[in-house]
Amino acid sequence: MNNVILYSRFENNFIERTYNTVVSDISVAFSELVANAWDAGAKTININIPYESGEDIILEDDGSGMTDDEFRNRWMIIAYNRVEHQGNYVQYEDLTTKRLAYGRNGIGRHALICFDDEYIVETWKKGVCNRYHISVDGGQSAFSIINHNQYHKEGHGTKLIVKANKKLPQTKEVIQTLGYRFLFDPEFTICVNNKEVEYKQLISPVKTDIVSTEYGDIGIEIYNIPDGEKTTALNGVAFWAGKRLIGNPSWNIDDYRVEDARRRFALKHLIIIKVDFLIDDVRYDWSGFQKTNKVKECNKIIKQYISKYRIDYYKGKTSEVRSDVIRENLEDIRELSASARDELRNFFDIYLAQKPEIDATELNVIIQALINVLNSRNGIPLLSKLSKMSNSEIESLDSILDEWSVFDIKCVLDEIDSRLKIIDAIQKLSSDNSTDELHVLHPLISQARWLFGVEFDNNYYTFNRRLSTVMQELLKYTRKDKTTINWLKRPDLVIAADYTLYCKG
């Protein structure tokens, strides 16, 4: 091995820039610290949150703890590879169930930096407690032990102490965050300021299923949300790995929207997707998945499953919606011709099959418009186009019509079309040497004053015309020919009954 001339060094804010989410978002920070306790085999973690800045935040668990050697070879290693050194599962004899470890790259410990650049770690095992004072300083090391001492202590566990200097967490928000980011486990309890966190699994699933893939089994649990429950944490598709939430529940999977979050189906459902086999594909801060082929294939299967369930859910509700709308418009429907009623019936069948989630109020507006069209026999092609639009296209059109009338839109589009034709004509004619510039190009350009700038696009600017003609047209005056002025020599003078005007071009 060659002699080392110079070792690389760390910038002071290396950790903040490298693991920004973990050290800046309080909810992510606490999730990571609790996950560390889980990985240590803890059955209980107690969190004490102060009420004022500058006081101590304390997290203490009853996990396996660490010896001095283990601490130095785990905690003090940047990007520590837990899977390589300790395996995928928590190895701790006190546990009666198999526990999948969350840790992968040794990032969770840096969550303490969210609150201060210095912190204390006390960890005890085999009768010895090691107390470390850690500082984030840069230079030769991203973070360092600035003080270490040992003393006797029975049992096992780890205690983290950090001052709330940078951020002061709110107890209620921490409890809420941890309550829905970790699924219930009888062997794991979280307490915040002596209050046990209640997990957000207060209802039973209406459907459970297992979908097998070449990578592993996908567990699916579908919940109906009670009418009184309004928290957004309980709506959407929630991905879990090892009983921990990945990102936030959402109705978007990749760039695909499974359902409009405002729809009845979205407001009434929570769909939990358990994908333990994708834990190695989770981003370092657990904000989502990495874009791997395995994740894409699994997401495709999940989207298909939810789409089928969604259609089945609405099938039983379309008959009720249809009956309500027909009852509301019964008198108008009776006045339609037999052929028009057939068309209306076909529209119901096709539209409700394509958009089973529509509610009675929205469908009623559409049916009233359709009845008017059928009565007049105009606008059917337009209605056909609307029926083929996607939800996002219809929303965009609705947003446009909120600000523009159809007449305004037509005027603007006609003007754009006219200008494009003029530009095309100028391009073609200007490249033809046989073009009569004076009598062909000039009149064409006179219709396109906007080419020179928006300030010239009005009737007060013209060119290639006599000043006398321009002034006569603009001021609507009649030239007095019986004067001694030679108009061909002085076209810049306008002499009226009570004023004289001079102009120049």
With 50 as the cut, is the pLDDT of residue 232 above it? Answer: no
Spatial separation of the C-alpha atoms in residues 61 and 159, rounded to whole Å: 7
Say how many residues make up the chain: 505
The CB density around residue 145, as the number of other CB atoms within 10 Å, is: 16
The CATH superfamily assigned to 14-196 is Histidine kinase-like ATPase, C-terminal domain (3.30.565.10)
Predicted local confidence at residue 163, as pLDDT: 96
Q: How confident is the model at residue 97 (pLDDT cuts 50, 70, 90)?
A: confident
Predicted local confidence at residue 466, as pLDDT: 64
More confident residue, 359 or 239: 239
More confident residue, 505 or 129: 129
Mean pLDDT of 205-210: 90
Return all residues near 56 (Cβ < 8 A) that are at least 6 apart: 48, 50, 161, 162, 163, 164
Q: What is the pLDDT of residues 430-443, one digit of tens each?
A: 787 877 777 677 77
Greatest mean pLDDT range, 84-88, 313-317, 384-388: 84-88
Query: How many separate helices (H) and strands (E) can be counted in the chain?
Result: 16, 17
Beta pairing, strands 56-61 & 44-48: antiparallel
Average pLDDT, the chain: 82
Greatest mean pLDDT range, 60-69, 90-99, 334-343, 476-485: 60-69
Q: How confident is the model at residue 335 (pLDDT cuts 50, 70, 90)?
A: confident
Predicted local confidence at residue 462, as pLDDT: 65
Mean pLDDT of 153-175: 93
With 50 as the cut, is the pLDDT of residue 384 above it? Answer: yes
Predicted local confidence at residue 75, as pLDDT: 93
More confident residue, 97 or 165: 165
The ranges assigned to domains in the chain are 14-196, 207-313, 329-403
The answer, as to whether pTM is greater than 0.75, is no
Predicted local confidence at residue 178, as pLDDT: 85
Cβ atoms of 123 and 42 closer than 8 Å: no
Q: What is the pLDDT of residues 460-502, one digit of tens each?
A: 666 666 666 666 666 555 555 555 556 555 555 556 666 666 6
Predicted local confidence at residue 58, as pLDDT: 96
Of 87-91, 316-320, 442-446, 468-472, the range with the lowest mean pLDDT is 468-472
Q: What is the pLDDT of residues 359-370, one digit of tens each?
A: 778 788 888 888
Predicted local confidence at residue 484, as pLDDT: 58
Predicted local confidence at residue 230, as pLDDT: 46
- For residue 217, the SS3 value is strand
With 50 as the cut, is the pLDDT of residue 239 above it? Answer: yes
With 80 as the cut, is the pLDDT of residue 48 above it? Answer: yes
With 50 as the cut, is the pLDDT of residue 231 above it? Answer: no
Residue with tokens 């009420």: 51
Report the candidate in 80, 67, 89 with the shortest Cα–Cα distance to residue 153: 67
More confident residue, 210 or 357: 210
How many Å from the N-terminal Cα to the C-terminal Cα in the chain?
84
Predicted local confidence at residue 311, as pLDDT: 80
Predicted local confidence at residue 491, as pLDDT: 55
What is the percentage of the chain residues whose pLDDT exceeds 90?
28
Predicted local confidence at residue 123, as pLDDT: 96
Predicted local confidence at residue 378, as pLDDT: 52
